[in-house]
């Protein structure tokens, strides 16, 4: 079951002080999830939670214009402005991790208000290699630029460890700004980095870790940008929980906009993070399929105190499995099952063929020639 929340209550005040509105969609038919009923793919159920009681109050089709009223998107706003507006809005917000322009388009088309890029997924899709520091800054930047140009929702980019010292971090941040990112995640690992939730992670000293965040803030000021700085520490697994909490406090003091401790191992550890600077947004990472962190539903994450949630493997994971299944079918002399394969018309619509054809009519030379002759 896949669960998507568009909007619900704020973590900036006490849980019972708001009337809460939540919207869900599910890819599986009529599934019970705690005390919530989730209906079909083509419906969104809005729930009202007051004093922690959740009630279904209405059902909207996925193309109902009402669902767009809470979307923070605006053509006149920059990507960082859109993201900051989202961070200030009520609720916990889900961001699937994309890895190319097409996956980013699908995220936006599904109704999500922002997305992440995943170094793990980009390394897999672009190089076919593990996320162990082999992909270069230039390759990540190029992939990121293609992603941000493909969508209108804000994108938070995976800046890894900034690709070096504080001076490298400054260049990384400036180039991510130029590439159109709304935010950047910067971590405190050494080079070459290791993948999150795996063994072998090592972090730089406290002083260098904090200096990276300060350098990122300086780069933002020098660029005249308002890119969101997400400060990540991997010291929970590399050293201890206490060390990761210390670093998170220091990152907040340095000016980070969002705090993120990777691979927290329990709800209690998650609560400990969210108790640091309670009004500063916190990021949760729901590593699908067997990471070190417990997988919690969005309501639980919000109650703990998180503001944004990343799902790093869902898209690349289901893509791998779907391609494997399709290849098995083809090798066996069959086509993939119709239920697993969009129609050609659906594929064209997703990629924008119809919109292209409509715009192309504006530049039809035969029509233009007739208009010119009539005018003369």
Per-residue pLDDT, 289: 82
Judge contact between 118 and 311, C-beta under 8 A. Answer: no
Residue 67 has pLDDT above 50, yes or no: no
What does the DSSP assignment read for 267-332? HHHHHHHHTSSTTS-BEEE--TTT-SS----HHHHHHHT-SEEEE-SHHHHHHHHHHHHHHHHHHT
Provide the pLDDT confidence category of residue 194 given band limits of 50, 70 and 90: low
* Contact by Cβ (8 Å): 100, 107: no
Q: How confident is the model over 293-306, as a mean pLDDT?
A: 97
Counted residue by residue, the chain has a size of 376
3-state secondary structure of 374: helix
Q: Do the bridges between strand 36-38 and strand 31-33 make them parallel or antiparallel, or are there none, so unpaired?
A: antiparallel
Map out the domains of the chain as residue ranges. 1-70, 74-316, 321-375
Please, which pLDDT band fits residue 373 given cuts at 50, 70 and 90? low
Pairing of strands 93-98, 53-61: unpaired
Of 12-21, 78-87, 336-345, 363-372, the least confident: 12-21
Contact between 135 and 126 (Cβ < 8 Å)? yes
Residue 366 in 3-state DSSP?
Answer: helix
Q: State how far the Cα of 2 lies from the Cα of 18, in Å rounded to an integer.
A: 26
**pTM for the model:** 0.78
Start-end of H helices in 110-266: 119-122, 137-150, 166-178, 206-223, 235-238, 241-254
- Which residues contact residue 82 at a Cβ distance below 8 angstroms, ignoring those fewer than 6 apart? 72, 73, 74, 114, 153, 154, 182
- What DSSP line would sit under 44-107, residue for residue? EEEEEEETTEEEEEEEEETT-GGGGTT----TTS-HHHHHHHHHHSSS-EEEEEE-SHHHHHHH
Q: Which range is least confidently modeled, 39-53, 94-108, 130-144, 236-250?
A: 39-53
Q: Residue 316 class from Cβ within 10 Å (0-12 exposed, 13-18 middle, 19+ buried)? A: buried
Q: Which of 5-14, 57-66, 187-196, 263-272 has the highest mean pLDDT?
A: 263-272
pLDDT of residue 25 exceeding 50:
no
133: Cα within 13 Å, side-chain hemisphere = 14
The CATH architecture that domain 74-316 belongs to is Alpha-Beta Barrel (3.20)
More confident residue, 342 or 198: 342
Other Cβ atoms less than 10 A from the Cβ of 321: the count is 10
Quick one: pLDDT at residue 192?
A: 73
| Distance spanning both ends of the chain, measured CA to CA | 63
| SS3 category, 235 | helix
Q: Residue 276's closest CA among 308, 244, 309?
A: 244
pLDDT recorded at residue 60: 27
Tens of pLDDT, residues 238-287 = 999 999 999 999 999 999 999 999 999 999 999 999 999 999 999 999 99
């Amino acid at each position: 079951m896949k669960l998507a929340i568009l909007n619900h209550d704020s973590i900036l005040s006490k849980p019972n002080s708001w009337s809460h509105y939540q919207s869900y969609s599910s890819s599986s038919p009529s599934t019970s999830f705690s005390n919530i009923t989730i209906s079909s793919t083509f419906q969104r159920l809005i729930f009202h939670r007051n004093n922690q009681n959740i009630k279904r109050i209405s059902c909207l089709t996925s193309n109902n214009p009402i669902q767009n009223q809470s979307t923070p998107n605006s053509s006149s706003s920059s990507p960082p402005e859109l993201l900051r507006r989202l961070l200030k809005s009520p609720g916990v917000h889900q961001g699937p991790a994309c890895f190319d322009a097409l996956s980013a388009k699908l995220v936006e088309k599904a109704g999500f208000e922002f997305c992440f890029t995943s170094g793990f997924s980009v390394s897999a899709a672009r190089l076919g290699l593990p996320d162990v520091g082999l992909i270069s800054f230039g390759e990540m930047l190029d992939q990121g630029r293609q992603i941000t140009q493909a969508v209108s929702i804000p994108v938070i980019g995976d800046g890894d460890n900034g690709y070096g010292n504080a001076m490298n971090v400054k260049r990384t941040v400036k180039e991510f700004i130029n590439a159109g990112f709304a935010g950047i995640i910067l971590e405190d690992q050494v080079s070459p980095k290791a993948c999150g939730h795996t063994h072998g992670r090592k972090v730089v000293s406290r002083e260098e870790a904090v200096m990276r965040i300060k350098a990122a803030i300086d780069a933002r000021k020098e660029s005249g940008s308002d890119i969101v700085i997400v400060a990540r520490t991997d010291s929970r697994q590399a050293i201890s929980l206490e060390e990761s909490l210390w670093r998170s406090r220091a990152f907040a003091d340095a000016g980070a906009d969002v705090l993120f401790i990777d691979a927290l191992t329990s709800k209690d550890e998650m609560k400990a993070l969210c108790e640091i600077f309670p009004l500063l947004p916190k990021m949760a990472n729901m590593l699908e399929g067997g990471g070190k962190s417990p997988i919690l539903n969005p309501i639980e994450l919000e109650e703990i105190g998180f503001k944004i949630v990343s799902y790093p493997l869902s898209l690349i994971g289901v893509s791998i499995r779907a391609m494997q299944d399709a290849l098995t079918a083809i090798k066996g002399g069959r086509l993939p099952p119709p239920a697993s394969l969009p129609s050609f018309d659906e594929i064209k619509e997703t990629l924008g063929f119809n919109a292209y054809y409509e715009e192309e009519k504006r530049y039809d030379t035969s029509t233009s020639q007739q208009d010119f002759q009539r005018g003369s």
